[in-house]
Structure 1
Amino acid sequence: MSERVDWAAMTDDEFIALIQQLMEPSADDPDEEE
């Protein structure tokens, strides 16, 4: 990952949302479907 994430500043919800995005097959560009 080239992005630097301030994990300590993240809330649990933000962390979970980020992980879910990373696990999705279309995580590269979700908006591209439309």
Structure 2
Amino acid sequence: MERKKRFETKDEMLALVQAPLLFLSIHFFAFIVCL
């Protein structure tokens, strides 16, 4: 059961990291297009 919890927390961390990265990549792309 502990292993399952660890994997769940890893997935949650990946989701938390993925959202800001996607947000930044979209703004970065928009910035390049504006230039």
Q: Which has the larger radius of gyration?
A: 2
Higher relative contact order (CA 8 A, sep 6+): 1
Normalised by the length of structure 2, the TM-score is: 0.36
